[in-house]
Amino acid sequence: MHDRLLRRREVERITGMSRASIYRLMQEGDFPRPVKVGSTAVRWKESDIAAWIESRPVATSELGSNAA
């Protein structure tokens, strides 16, 4: 299986997070680290991003729970 390498903007689009949020979570150890593909270029493994998304808790809604 080939793992696509994603640019930062693709990661931002997929996760809905800003660049600052991604790097903050990386610094806190709560987001996958990229792989270096050049002297200044990095990419994220698509499988790492998918696994991170799957590990996130599912949001629940209180709407409708008390509906009559």
Q: What is the pLDDT of residues 27-62, one digit of tens each?
A: 999 999 999 999 999 999 999 999 999 999 988 877
Tell me: pLDDT of 65 over 60: no
Pick the more confident residue, 21 or 3.
Answer: 21
What average pLDDT does this structure show over 1-11?
Answer: 91
pLDDT-derived band of residue 6, with 50, 70 and 90 as boundaries? very high
Tell me: pLDDT of 25 over 60: yes
- The answer to whether residues 45 and 32 touch, using CB atoms and an 8 Å cutoff, is yes
What 7-13 contacts at long range (C-beta under 8 Å, 24+ apart), as own/partner pairs, is 7/43, 8/34, 8/42, 8/44, 11/44, 11/49
